[in-house]
Chain A
Amino acid sequence: MKIRTALVLVSLMFVLGGPARAALVWETTAADLHPAVSDKTAVAHFKYKNTGDKPIKITSVHPSCGCTTAALAKDVVEPNESGEITATFNIGDRSGVQNKTITVMTDDTPGQPTILKLTATIQQLLQVAPVFVYWPAGDVLNSKTINVDVGAEFPVKKLTVTSTDKAIATEVAPGPNDKTFRITVTPTESGRPINATLKIEPDFPKETTKSFYVNVRVDSRAKPVTK
């Protein structure tokens, strides 16, 4: 009997205790974004509603990195009022899965922040490796190879490679399958330091040019190939 009474009291505490607190209820606290390959930003909307009976003040909104901005229309949310935080993730030169968070503090639950999670999966048109080829002092100027993998969903058939220094020769050849290329890089001069950039341009997408870069460095003391 005592146990039953205790259970009833605990239940009443939850039922009656709930509505007495102001509460910001989030429609979702996690956003999964899949921007297109030509997109510059990825935007998430985190909607909330004040289901309590007193105003709630959003005291701070803090993104985990400088690459994300979080915009708030108004910081005081009246009872029964809805709103949203718009999070804009700047894609920049990032690729792969990016996990970012936004920490939201409110005056109704100080010390108990809400963590909004933003996951952006940035499609990788090309995966280029390595992005730095280097011939140090004493190294013989033999050719080096750069491997290029094309993302499964992209119909890239051709790569164009240009060098900022004419002493760096390049040759593009198909790889072991139709989703790979191999770029052979060969310094054709020795005796001077070379800092060059290779620009790799795929033939897709047609409407916007997406470029990839490889940095080439040759030490002036690298040795020419002996014939």
Chain B
Amino acid sequence: MLLGLAFLPAIGQAIYYRGAVSWQQPPADSAPVSLAQAKGWGGAVLWIDARPEEQFASGHVPKALLLNEDNWNSLLPLVLAAWSPERKLVVYCSRQSCDASHAVAERLRQEAGLKNVYVLQGGWEEWQKGGQ
């Protein structure tokens, strides 16, 4: 009885917001993306490492391309050469609190006009936790 009463508000909200939220809803363009979801996209993902070059050299997501604001002009052509319209760009930096991935993602959208640009939640730290 008590359990049933406890569920009532949740059931009410579920009915009220039934069209607004879906567990299967894909993230909006440029939204943060979880590691599990990004991995689920498989080969469609173009991984972009926004960390400094020395950190990239010491380890990165397989096949990831380096693109940071230190050397934006020389690195961007390599990313654009690998890009195709159907690919999803997932940008990461060191950890959740770093801002380099957001800055790079923003420039890819604003300056290069690319769509399907996402920021990996938790960054490289999360990738390493995820067992690679």
Q: Which of A67, A129, A132, A211 contacts B73 (CB 8 A)?
A: A211
Complex: how many Å from CA A212 to CA B114?
Answer: 19
Q: Is B36 an interface residue (CB 8 A)?
A: no
Complex: how many Å from CA A200 to CA B76?
Answer: 15
Flag if A195 contacts B77 (CB, 8 Å): yes
Complex: how many Å from CA A213 to CA B75?
Answer: 11
Q: Which of A64, A65, A67, A129 contacts B111 (CB 8 A)?
A: A129
Binary contact track B40-67/A, C-beta < 8 Å → 1, others 0: 0000000000011001000000000000
Q: Shortest beta-carbon distance, B49 to chain A, in Å?
A: 11
A contact face: mostly helix, strand, loop, or mixed? loop
List of A residues within 8 angstroms of B80 by Cβ: 132, 195, 215, 217
Binary contact track A73-106/B, C-beta < 8 Å → 1, others 0: 0000000000000000010111000000000000
Complex: how many Å from CA A93 to CA B51?
Answer: 14
Q: Is B37 an interface residue (CB 8 A)?
A: no
Flag if B70 contacts A213 (CB, 8 Å): no
Flag if A66 contacts B76 (CB, 8 Å): no
CB closest residue in chain B, given A131: B111
Flag if A94 contacts B69 (CB, 8 Å): yes
Flag if B69 contacts A64 (CB, 8 Å): no
Q: A195-B81, A217-B80 are in contact. Are A67 and B112 (CB under 8 A)?
A: no
Flag if A67 contacts B76 (CB, 8 Å): no
Q: Is A136 an interface residue (CB 8 A)?
A: yes
Interface residues of A in 171-227 (CB under 8 A from B): 195, 197, 211-213, 215, 217
Q: Is A18 an interface residue (CB 8 A)?
A: no
Binary contact track A105-135/B, C-beta < 8 Å → 1, others 0: 0000000000000000000000001111000
List of B residues within 8 angstroms of A213 by Cβ: 73, 76-77
Complex: how many Å from CA A131 to CA B77?
Answer: 10
List of B residues within 8 angstroms of A65 by Cβ: 98-100
Q: Is B19 an interface residue (CB 8 A)?
A: no
Q: A64-B98, A129-B111, A130-B112 are in contact. Are A93 and B85 (CB under 8 A)?
A: no
Q: Is B71 an interface residue (CB 8 A)?
A: yes
Interface residues on B, range: 20 to 34
Flag if A90 contacts B114 (CB, 8 Å): no
Complex: how many Å from CA A108 to CA B109?
Answer: 44
List of B residues within 8 angstroms of A93 by Cβ: 69-73
Complex: how many Å from CA A215 to CA B97?
Answer: 31
Flag if B70 contacts A197 (CB, 8 Å): no
Q: Is B12 an interface residue (CB 8 A)?
A: no
Complex: how many Å from CA A111 to CA B72?
Answer: 36
Binary contact track B71-115/A, C-beta < 8 Å → 1, others 0: 111001100110001000000001001111000000000011110
Flag if B98 contacts A197 (CB, 8 Å): no
Question: Using a CB–CB distance below 8 Å, which chain A residues touch chain B?
Answer: 64-67, 90, 92-94, 129-132, 136, 195, 197, 211-213, 215, 217
Question: Using a CB–CB distance below 8 Å, which chain B residues touch chain A?
Answer: 51-52, 55, 68-73, 76-77, 80-81, 85, 94, 97-100, 111-114
5 other A-B residue contacts (CB within 8 Å) besides A93-B72, A94-B72? A66-B55, A92-B68, A195-B81, A215-B112, A217-B81
